[in-house]
Amino acid sequence: MSEFLPSNVLYVDLSKHLHKTENRHELFEEYIGGTGVATQLLLEECEKGADPLGPGNVVVFAVGPLVNLYPMASKTVAMFKSPHTGNLGESHAGGRSAVAIRSAGYGAIVIKGVSESPVYLAIHGDKVFFRDASAYWDMESTQTVGRIIRENEPGSGVRTIMRIGKAGEKLVTYASLVTETYRHFGRLGLGAVFGSKRLKAVLVSGKKIARVADMRLYREVYDTLFNQQTKSSALQKYHDLGTASNILVLNELKGLPTRNLKEPCFEDAEEISGENLAEKFLGRRVACAHCPVACIHLATLREPYVDESYFYKTTWVSYDYELLYALGCMLGVSSVHGALKLFDAVEKWGLDAMSTGVVLAWATEAVEKELVTKEETLGIEPKWGDYETYLKMMGLIVEQPNEFYKLLARGVDKAAERYGGLEFALAMGGNEMAGYHTGPAGYVGFYTGARHSHLDSAGYGVDQKEVGKTEGLTPQSIVDKLFKEEVWRQILSSLVICFFARGVYTPDIVIKALKTVDLNFSEEELMKIGEKILKEKYKFKLQEGFDFNKLRIPSKILEIESPNKTIKRETIEEAIKLYADRVKA
């Protein structure tokens, strides 16, 4: 039995304002940490068939055995039942969250129940406080909430502050949880689950130190990882331009969804490119804890104060590829100033940027096609590129003054089921699409990944390698590649490795790193654990009503040619069937 694992689990009951800690050593020995342990805790603690916005749902945060020991092993996995898809909710974020949770002495935190009045949790090591958060409810900005809690809350050591904005309070099903500044548990509505529990924020601080079993091996593995991370050209790219460098690459390939995928490339891609932003707007780069790469790019947004001449408010706004896609080209926004205002708004209100952008893009096309009346939009007429109107609509999605905005606050599937336009409602498995119209593997990945995220199995990468090859991709070859990748990613996210470091954390180095905390696995054993975790996730999804046979394919993705030619419905359908057989086997 390894004594070097963060195996304490903190259980918090918001209904009774009680907490307890249990050592769940067996879970960490078997499932490592992160996503593996979180899946088991979700299966144990979430009531079957629970209302995602009711007391039977739980929030699990889990970290891994390499946190606080190795660089780029500092993500936290959050797991819950998603109010957006009705099944598995899983989202990852960095910042200082993982480092703080482990430093406080925990490998996982399970939060259940519903508080009678708004609270925030302050977890200082083994002391847990339920603080009154009534004064923070309805505050305009997540940044303000974070700053006030930071100033008022005692506690030295490493500290994280995870909090929701108005979107979470108002139960927008794609509300995010903001951690520190510029990091998010973005997808699948963790913010709404917090809101439903009247939980405004969770602060964690601690001073505990992680230990290793073999110091000599630890130094060797650490040096190898650090050297590779600081010398790798692939990681240098994340530092220099960040993921924003993808804009021009995907535009050139004609795989950049533009104006709700009416086109696969954007005439103003240069303007919103990572290169242009770095040259004219980049002001700082910041990093998650224990990361030498610093891929988080911050631009300056300068806006004049009303009624004051030559007096400007300057705001730091983070940007990356996903934001530039969803709130840039997807909405036809070519003004960087306008795009930054939209990025700042999703941060302020705590909205998932990708779902927000795709929802607004659907609404624009629905208005163009006269499926929605002016009365329903409250007189607003969205037009491609008109960022001021999109800002107003975002505010209305948060406030939900009528049925139209209430449905937009639940995603494109729900809105299109009511108003029509399912053929251009770009959600796969209920989750709005990421910015990759690269070919069939990308879409199969969106449909079959346990989170319906591009990060599950990175099908877009498979497509990009195939461009120009005559043999093409078959359903079987797609499934073989995606399944293997998703299985290995279960291990990386159980260790809570940043996926940008996946080329550095190879099976060989992972096996050695695990030895330093007295966990001994072969590559084959790790792959078996990865497969088991993936199947357990599917067990939860199927138990909660997910059905492979009900996945909807919007005809828009088949009509617009991708870099791998026209995508065929049969290819996607056949691949979904094959994937279903694999995860159910």
CA dihedral 182, 320, 188, 452 (to 10 degrees): -150
User: Whole-angstrom Cα distance, residue 47 to residue 62?
Assistant: 19
Cβ–Cβ contacts within 10 Å for residue 290, how many? Answer: 19
Q: Which of residues 498-527 bind ligand SF4 (CB under 6 A)?
A: 498, 500
Polymer length in residues for the chain: 585
Residue with tokens 């990852």: 92
Q: Which residues contact 215 (CB under 8 A, 6 or more apart)?
A: none
Among 60, 167, 282, 291, binds ligand SF4 (CB under 6 A): 291
User: Considering the rule CB under 6 A, would residue 362 count as an interface residue with ligand SF4?
Assistant: no
**Residue 96 vs 481, nearer CB to ligand SF4:** 96
User: Considering the rule CB under 6 A, would residue 149 count as an interface residue with ligand SF4?
Assistant: no
How far lies 279's CA from each of 58, 76, 273, 537, in Å?
44, 32, 10, 43
CA dihedral 164, 166, 169, 172 (to 10 degrees): -100
What is the sign of the dihedral through the CA atoms of 384, 390, 396 and 399?
A: positive
Single out the segment in contact with ligand SF4 by CB under 6 A; choices: 84-92, 284-292, 382-390, 397-405. Answer: 284-292
Binding mask 227-246 for ligand SF4 (x = CB under 6 A): -----------x--------
Q: b/e string for 192-222 if b means 16 or more Cβ within 10 A?
A: bbbbbbbbbbbbbbbebebebeeeeebeebb
Among 188, 288, 327, 361, binds ligand SF4 (CB under 6 A): 288
Among 94, 118, 264, 357, binds ligand SF4 (CB under 6 A): 94
**Residue 61 vs 387, nearer CB to ligand SF4:** 61
Single out the segment in contact with ligand SF4 by CB under 6 A; choices: 168-176, 293-301, 432-440, 565-573. Answer: 293-301
Provide the strand spans (E) within 82-156: 88-93, 108-112, 119-124, 127-132
**Residue 167 vs 293, nearer CB to ligand SF4:** 293
Among 50, 294, 391, 509, binds ligand SF4 (CB under 6 A): 294
Single out the segment in contact with ligand SF4 by CB under 6 A; choices: 31-39, 285-293, 315-323, 520-528. Answer: 285-293
**Residue 292 vs 304, nearer CB to ligand SF4:** 292
Single out the segment in contact with ligand SF4 by CB under 6 A; choices: 186-194, 292-300, 320-328, 329-337. Answer: 292-300
Asked whether 110 and 58 are in contact (CB, 8 A), the reply is yes
User: Whole-angstrom Cα distance, residue 91 to residue 38?
Assistant: 11
**What angle, 0 to 180 degrees and rounded to 10, lies between the N-to-C axes of helices 440-448 and 475-494?**
50
Size of the site for ligand SF4 (CB under 6 A): 12
**Residue 120 vs 238, nearer CB to ligand SF4:** 238
**Residue 572 Cβ, how far from ligand SF4 at the closest point, in Å?**
30
User: Considering the rule CB under 6 A, would residue 293 count as an interface residue with ligand SF4?
Assistant: yes
Q: Which of residues 50-79 bind ligand SF4 (CB under 6 A)?
A: 72
User: Which residue ranges make up the site for ligand SF4 (CB under 6 A)?
Assistant: 72, 94, 238, 287-288, 291, 293-296, 498, 500
